[in-house]
Structure 1
Amino acid sequence: MQQTPISITGLASVSPLGDNRDDILKAYLNTNHYFSTKDNTWVAQLNKGSLEKIKALKTENIKYKPLDNSVLFSILSSRNAIKEANWSTGSNFGVNIGSSRGATALFENHHEAFLKNNKAEILASPTTTLGNISSWVAHDLQTSGPEISHSITCSTALHALLNGMVWLKSGLADQFLIGGTEAPLTPFTIAQMQALKIYASNTETEYPCKALDFNKTKNSMILSEASASLCLESGHKPNRLAQIAGIGYATEILQHHVSLSSAGDCFKKSMKMALNQANIETVDVIVTHTPGTIKGDKAEYNAIKNTFKTLPFLTNNKWKIGHSLGASGVLSIEMAILMLQEQTVFNVPFFKQNQPKSINSIMINAVGFGGNAVSVIIKK
């Protein structure tokens, strides 16, 4: 059966690296991390310039004032993505924006007020529902297409990509905006990660998050706020940034609420599925999920070693900007597209390996709690 090619025609993000291509590329080319401490805890926050844009967005429309940052982040990145793709507001494109945690700060504030007053505020429900994200993005862009929100924890954004591709391949849509957004830097959300004993605790180190360091003796995951949006279209588009060559997905049988087998079985299945669909045996680069945890990083590495006869070049962005949960997958796709465009790899300073001679294909991995893995292969 002839496969309909899917083109990526627009891409934008807002993260600790910035919110425009030049700043983001410069950040990837250096060896700095973008962490700061908040209440003696490592976090990755948006920079001052991006926060000013979010502040302006919040005040430009009275309806936006009560919205959570997760929604505002996504509105900003989505506006920039459709601008790059030359989509017009008011056209008929679908929207699927996911989030692992959703309106974290807003929900915590509403719940605190309820405990204090034994009464919920009037907008407590509509502003904290998960569907609130895609519906407000669709409202802002005035699209008349379908709008979908979902949460599949840390693989959320790549599941949004899978869903958007299905709509395009079915012929029910010609354009789909997908992405993920997260604003998790709240006391309760950070406390949840600390309770799992996976959060970085050492505040005196050159690189606080040691994603892709397989000799680390402590977990080093750090939360990040970010949003990333991607424009998908059917066919070989002349303005495409990259083409999706293969996708794969798999779920492990749960042994625990956060289970992932030491062999990374779900990764092995998702990577092999993506390679088979792309009709290739290897890729030049893999942007790994590796969140900086001891077991999680090793499980993915074991799966990669089991899948490829010769290891591709491995890299990730979590050592630099932390883990943005539901947004992280599309941030990894952005990183991959920049490497394709610039024909250079972005190194992890403490993980030494041979450089690829050229970059033609890149695999992006993500996995969420419960072993929900997704692998995506993109080409020039």
Structure 2
Amino acid sequence: MTEFAPNELIVIRGRGRVSALGLQPAPADAHVSPFTTHATGLPVAALPPAAEATLAELRRTQAAYRQLDRTVLLGLLAARQATAAAGWQRSEGVSGEQEHDPLLTLSPSHHFTTSPLAVSIGSSRGATGRTEEFHAGFLADGVVPAGASPLTTLGNVASWVAYDAGSAGGAALSHSSTCSSAFQALGNATAWLRAGMAERFLAGGTEAPLTDFTLAQMRAIGIYSPFAAEDFPCRPGAGKPSTFVLGEGAAVFALEKVSRQQLAAEAASAPVFVLESVGFGFEAIGSKTGLSAEGQHFQQAIRQALAQARLTPAAVDAVVLHSPGTPAGDAAERAALRAVFGRSLPPLLSNKWLVGHTLGASAALSLDFALHILETQQWPAAPFATDIASAAPKPIRRILVNAAGFGGNAASALVSALEM
């Protein structure tokens, strides 16, 4: 096990997100379902009109962006929020219009004030929409455009985020490990930062899977929710029936390695968010869509995250669950938590009843939700019977965030608020 220097911290300087909740981490009104009905008739967690308009405007900012997959554009939008929040870009040479709306008008011509920026982005499926479009065209007329290959490789997700961020001299890494992809990206970024291979990272996850073919795949597995869009169809922790609902979105984080002395010198007025560790687990089972009843992969990931951070389970104040709303998956994760925490199970939380299951972006959006809770000490109560907590017995200062995916993999991250 790698030993981390206790004086060195991985700090989250800024974050951005886009989901069915728009550009906000929590709903304006938790009594109104953010889900809508797809053309297929299935409920989905799609972008609301205002966020859709922002994404459309982003697509128009550069001619090259008009050909990008929706997954890439979601990642660009979240990354722009993260870099703006981190204060990583200079305003020299930016017009008044650009200063007014930096999310839409920042271009790769802006310059960073510090070291080269590295990028690590996770996505389960990558350029889903463009891949299906190119394939449909090929079946129709046997022709494939020259741009089909570069626009559909997984690597184009991180490389376009890096290009848009103005990165020069930093790595651009794309990761795919089904629904834990974003934590694979964050774990990799953390390792690079701790090893001194990079000084700043944009890391997170993005996914735009709301296509007819992808929805049909999820339905074929037999896990899709039978509830209507207006009835909060994704219900983690509610038991049977299965209430999996597909969503789209992205969340990206601006990460730096800093010393405690440096943080003290900065004299920050707000809490500093620290990504303490990212642990991983794997269970080799025959079914690539199944998992053990004991959630062995979850247990491994949680214990590794705790060991890396040199913490005991008692140090965790809350858990943001992976909990996709499938009875078997929900039960296995809770069994794993009981195996680790025993009777002292912390409050269980979830945002999937608000944003759906966003596949490769889900871990990143869960982490963003955890940071919102650390920041505000508030979260909306689910409007259905569930074991998700509506309140906590004490202030929440450290949160464990879980993620898991097909193939038996799992990941867990620990994040805390450091009071300065």
- TM-score where L is the length of structure 2: 0.85
Partner amino acid, structure 1, of 2:171: P
Q: Which residue of 2 aligns with 1:351?
A: 386
Task: Look up the match of 2:286.
Answer: 255
| Paired position in structure 1 for 2:339 | 306
Distance 2:128 2:278 in 1: 30
Whole-angstrom distance in 2 between the partners of 1:275 and 1:139: 35
User: Which residue does the alignment assign to 2:103?
Assistant: none
Give the conservation status (yes or no) of the 8 Å contact 1:6–1:243.
Answer: yes
CA–CA distance in structure 1, aligned partners of residues 285 and 111 of structure 2: 43
* CA deviations over 1:313-367 (Å, ceiling 9, x no partner): 0011111210000001111111111111112344333225562211111000001
Q: Kindly tell me: are residues 345 and 25 of structure 1, through their superposed partners in 2, closer, same or farther at Cα, counting changes over 3 Å?
A: closer
Contact 2:32–2:230 (8 Å) recurs in 1: no
1:68-147 to 2 correspondences below 5 Å:
68-88=69-89, 89-91=110-112, 92-144=116-168, 145-147=170-172
Residues 1:10 and 2:45 are matched in the alignment = no
Partners of 1:204 and 1:258 in 2: how far apart? 25
1:215-364 to structure 2, matched below 5 A, reads: 215-216=239-240, 218-235=241-258, 236=260, 237=263, 238=266, 241-278=272-309, 279-282=311-314, 283-309=316-342, 310-349=344-383, 350-352=385-387, 353=389, 355-364=392-401
Report the equivalent of 1:374. Answer: 411
Counterpart-to-counterpart distance in 2, 1:204 and 1:170: 46
* Distance across 1 between alignment mates of 2:121 and 2:296: 27
Question: Deviation digits for residues 93-121 of structure 1, max 9, x if unmatched?
Answer: 10011111111111111100000111112
Q: Are 1:339 and 1:346, in contact at CA under 8 Å, matched by a contact in 2?
A: no
Contact 2:37 2:229 in 1 (8 A): no
Structure 1 unaligned blocks of 5 or more: none
Please say if residues 32 and 320 of structure 1, whose CA atoms lie closer than 8 Å, have aligned partners that are also in contact.
no
Distance 2:44 2:272 in 1: 31
- Residue 284 of structure 1, CA deviation: 1.1
Larger radius of gyration: 2
Check whether the contact 1:241–1:337 (CA below 8 A) recurs between aligned residues.
no
Q: Which one of the candidate residues 177, 202, 213 is aligned to 2:202?
A: 177
CA distance, structure 1, for counterparts of residue 155 and residue 378 of structure 2: 38
SS in structure 2 opposite 1:357? coil
Alignment root-mean-square deviation, CA: 1.7
Provide the secondary structure at the position in 1 that maps to 2:150. coil
Do the aligned residues in 2 keep the contact of 1:362 with 1:379 (CA within 8 Å)?
yes
Are the aligned partners of 1:10 and 1:241 in contact in 2 as well (CA < 8 Å)? Answer: no
CA distance in 1, matches of 2:281, 2:392: 30
Judge conservation of contact 1:155–1:373 (CA < 8 Å) in 2: yes
In the alignment, the residues of structure 1 paired with residue 56 and residue 319 of structure 2 have an alpha-carbon distance, to the nearest angstrom, of: 36
Shift of 1:224: 0.6
What is the number of equivalent residue pairs in this alignment?
Answer: 374
Identity %: 39
- Aligned residues of 1:315 and 1:346 also touching (Cα < 8 A): no
Q: Distance in 2 between matches of 1:25 and 1:113?
A: 39
Q: Do 2:26 and 2:379's aligned partners in 1 also have CA atoms closer than 8 Å?
A: no
Q: State which drifts further: 226-235 or 240-249.
A: 240-249
* CA distance in structure 2 between the aligned counterparts of 1:260 and 1:379, rounded to whole angstroms: 29
Q: Which consecutive unaligned segments of at least 5 residues does structure 2 have? A: 90-109
